[in-house]
Amino acid sequence: MFSLLKSTKKLVLTVALASIMSTSAAVQANYIDNSSEDYRMTSNYEAVKLGMTNIKTTLMLGFSEYDRKDEYGNLCLHMIEALLNDDNMNFTNIVAYTIEKFPDRWQSYFWNGYYNETKFRFVDAINNYLEALKINPESWVINRNIGRAYMGKAILSAGQVFREKNIDSPERFLTMLILKDESYEAFVNRFTYESDIAHAYFTKAISIYETDPVNTQANIEEVLDTYNKAAITTKNTDESLAYYNKVISYEGRTAFPWLKDGLNKVYIEAYAGAGNCYIQYGQYDKALLMYKQGRKLDKNSDLLKVLKRKIELARTKA
């Protein structure tokens, strides 16, 4: 029924970063209306790409999790293979068949959401993930991905804000979020709803992971990146710094040499974000220390360069 494609091309999921105003939003499992949203890949698509960053992912429920001798496991393997090979038609057919035959199994809803997320169809992705969450509410990966999809939805809607603020590069957008500059206020005030919900799901995912890190089956790069996202998506400086420090204090990066580039990026964002927190406290020496620590990983980081200028400017005003 389904063809097996032999290519092993690596899947790279393009995901979004976004912002938040409050840390008190409860996780909401209500469906959201897609009827009024314009998700056509027009000029807004070009705008949303500016807010994207590539995060290399493992296939969280990878091949070892499924048994080809089991019908459902075999179908899940076909889904993953179709995703790896960008075989959209085959993937869609497999998902429809699997959901019809196994409506009480969460993985098919999850992979459908994952697929829609890669296509920037964030409302569809959210609704798919929510179906999976009904069946498996204590899943790290489902909660994390719902948060990520809500952030993508906010950014996709933010094209006009990007244009108004002349945010013309991915690096500029990341700087806006991590260092919370003047554009951050405009962004966060306009997209509070999605951001609040995203933050709630990120904190839920973190809670699940920290309760049982061994059995959570979480890629360490994704875990640390989620700490950064939780830090970015709160206006509470104490909470933000606490999340950044969880990344900075993690000492296992050398155990994953194949993740070096991805982990370095996560660490640089954490150092920059922590530096910004220290600026808010007026602790400029500590902020400068974060800058120096980050430069050990990348001397040419634009994000760190902006952090240093922000430290210098804050000192002159103090």
Element (H, E) at 107: helix 106-118
Q: What is the pLDDT of residue 278?
A: 97
C-beta separation of 253 from 263 below 8 A: yes
What tokens were used for 220?
Answer: 């360490």
Q: What is the pLDDT of residue 4?
A: 31
Query: For residue 49, is pLDDT > 60?
Result: no
Name the one residue in this structure whose structure tokens are 């007026």.
282
What tokens were used for 98?
Answer: 């699997």
Q: What is the pLDDT of residue 196?
A: 84
Q: What is the pLDDT of residue 66?
A: 56
Q: What is the pLDDT of residue 202?
A: 95
What is the per-residue pLDDT across 122-131, written as a single tens digit (0 to 9) for each?
A: 899 999 999 9
Pick from 43, 41, 51: which is nearest to 17 by CA?
Answer: 51
Q: Which residue has the higher pLDDT, 123 or 10?
A: 123
What is the per-residue pLDDT across 221-266, written as a single tens digit (0 to 9) for each?
A: 889 989 998 998 887 999 999 999 999 999 777 666 666 777 888 9
Mean pLDDT of 193-209: 91
Q: What is the pLDDT of residue 65?
A: 55
Question: Where are the alpha helices (H) located in 165-283, listed in sequence order?
Answer: 170-178, 182-190, 192-211, 220-232, 237-248, 260-281
What is the per-residue pLDDT across 76-93, written as a single tens digit (0 to 9) for each?
A: 888 888 887 888 898 999
C-beta separation of 184 from 195 below 8 A: no
Q: What is the pLDDT of residue 267?
A: 94
SS3 state at 293: helix
Quote the mean pLDDT of the chain.
74
Rounded Cα gap, residues 77 and 62, in angstroms: 8
Rounded Cα gap, residues 302 and 318, in angstroms: 24
Buried b (16+ CB within 10 A) or exposed e, 298-313: beebebbbbbbebbee
- Going by pLDDT thresholds of 50, 70 and 90, the confidence category of residue 33 is very low
Q: What is the pLDDT of residue 154?
A: 73
What percentage of the chain reaches a pLDDT higher than 90? 38
Other Cβ atoms closer than 10 A to 244: 27
Q: What is the pLDDT of residue 128?
A: 96
